[in-house]
Amino acid sequence: MGLFSGDGAGVSARLFKRYGAQVWGGLHLKMPDCICDVKALKRTPVQNKQIVIQAEECIKSAVCNLKNGTPTKDGLGLSCHIAGLLGQRLWFYRKTQEYSDKIQIDTGACIKCGKCALVCPMNNLSLSEDKIIADGRCTLCYRCVNQCSKKAITILGKQVIFQHSVYDFH
């Protein structure tokens, strides 16, 4: 999470309402960033662990509130909607309008293990004739970059600064 984590709770609530759901509440959580090839967006492992601990406390509190009949309404207000629009959606609109074809694979560093292809939810990466091929369907999830043991994949930056997985926080 760089400067602003967006308004995912509000976006989800608006989508749910569009399909007839009754939204009781929302929970906006600050989480560590998965973008590992842009130094300005990185925090130390200790800072990331603290962010996860704080998120877990927010979840516990929200569960207690829900059990007591007063669901948390975090991230559903107008200010979060405007901040998400101006701070994230409009800024990233051009980048996410189409699939990214900016994925870079260092063929010298790549050991062709295929881990990146296995974790890609878009099936954008494939192992073909002893090289990884990107097919232009990257949605910038960064799973491949974070899973590459040789740090051979970058998307926005030129080199991998720090990698982590969800297992690093427990």
Over 70: is that where the pLDDT of 6 sits? no
Q: Which domains does the chain possess?
A: 7-88 (no CATH), 101-168 (3.30.70.20)
For the question of whether the overall pTM of this predicted structure is more than 0.85, the answer is no
Interatomic CA distance for residues 152 and 170, integer angstroms: 26
Contacts of 38 (CB under 8 A, 6+ apart): 2, 156, 157, 161
% of the chain surpassing 70 pLDDT: 89
- pLDDT tens for 87-100 read 777 777 666 666 57
pLDDT of residue 170: 67
pLDDT of residue 1: 46
Over 70: is that where the pLDDT of 4 sits? no
Rounded average pLDDT over 68-85 = 89
Interatomic CA distance for residues 148 and 114, integer angstroms: 9
Q: The tokens of 72 are what?
A: 């948390």
Pick left, alpha or beta for residue 29 (phi over 0 → left; psi -120 to 50 → alpha; otherwise beta): beta
